[in-house]
Amino acid sequence: MLDLLIIGAGPAGISAAFEAKKEGLDYLVIEKGLIGNTIYNYPVGLTVFSTTNELEFNAGDLDPAREKPTREELLSYYVRFVLENDLTIQTEESVRSVTKEAEHFAVSTDKGEYRAKNVLFAMGAMDHPRRLNVPGEDLSKVHLLFRETYPWVKKRALIIGGGNSAGEAALFLAQEGADTTLAIFRSDWENNDPKQGCIKYWVKKPLENELKENCLKIFFLGRVVEIRENEVEMESESGERVNLPNDVVFVLIGSDADLTMIKGLGVETTQGKSGEVPVYDDETFETNVPGVFVAGHFTNHRHIKGAIDAPKSMIPHLKKRLSKNA
Ligand X SMILES: Cc1cc2nc3c(=O)[nH]c(=O)nc-3n(C[C@H](O)[C@H](O)[C@H](O)COP(=O)(O)OP(=O)(O)OC[C@H]3O[C@@H](n4cnc5c(N)ncnc54)[C@H](O)[C@@H]3O)c2cc1C
Q: Is 314 in the site for ligand X (CB under 6 A)?
A: no
Q: Are 318 and 285 in contact (CB under 8 A)?
A: no
Q: Are 298 and 123 in contact (CB under 8 A)?
A: yes
> Can you give the C-alpha Rg of the chain in angstroms?
22
124 burial (CB, 10 Å; 0-12 / 13-18 / 19+) is buried
Which range of residues in 32-40, 220-228, 262-270, 273-281 is near ligand X by CB under 6 A? 32-40
DSSP per residue, 271-290: EETTEEEE-B-TTT-BBSST
DSSP 3-state assignment of 150?
helix
Q: How far is the CB of 13 from ligand X (least distance, A)?
A: 6
Q: Is 147 in the site for ligand X (CB under 6 A)?
A: no
Residue whose C-alpha is closest to residue 125's, from 41, 15, 181: 41
Which uninterrupted H or E stretch holds 164?
helix 164-175
Q: Which of 37, 52, 118, 287 binds ligand X (CB under 6 A)?
A: 37
Q: For 270, which DSSP code?
A: E
Q: Is 304 in the site for ligand X (CB under 6 A)?
A: yes
Sign of CA dihedral 302, 291, 315, 76: negative
Considering beta carbons, is residue 136 or 167 the nearer one to ligand X? 167
Considering beta carbons, is residue 127 or 235 the nearer one to ligand X? 127
Q: 155 to 194, contacts with ligand X by CB under 6 A?
A: 165
Pairwise CA distance, residues 105 & 23, whole Å? 21
Which range of residues in 148-156, 191-199, 234-242, 304-312 is near ligand X by CB under 6 A? 304-312
Considering beta carbons, is residue 11 or 136 the nearer one to ligand X? 11
Considering beta carbons, is residue 18 or 298 the nearer one to ligand X? 298
Q: Is 104 in the site for ligand X (CB under 6 A)?
A: no
Q: Is 227 in the site for ligand X (CB under 6 A)?
A: no
Which range of residues in 7-15, 131-139, 262-270, 315-323 is near ligand X by CB under 6 A? 7-15
Q: How far is the CB of 279 from ligand X (least distance, A)?
A: 17
Considering beta carbons, is residue 58 or 325 the nearer one to ligand X? 58
Q: How far is the CB of 93 from ligand X (least distance, A)?
A: 7
Residues whose CB is less than 8 angstroms from the CB of residue 16 and which lie 6 or more positions away in sequence, other chains included: 4, 6, 27, 29, 120, 122, 295, 310, 311, 314, 315
Q: Is 136 in the site for ligand X (CB under 6 A)?
A: no
Q: Which residues bind ligand X (CB under 6 A)?
A: 7-13, 30-33, 37-38, 42, 48-50, 54, 94-95, 122-124, 126-127, 165, 296-298, 302-305, 307
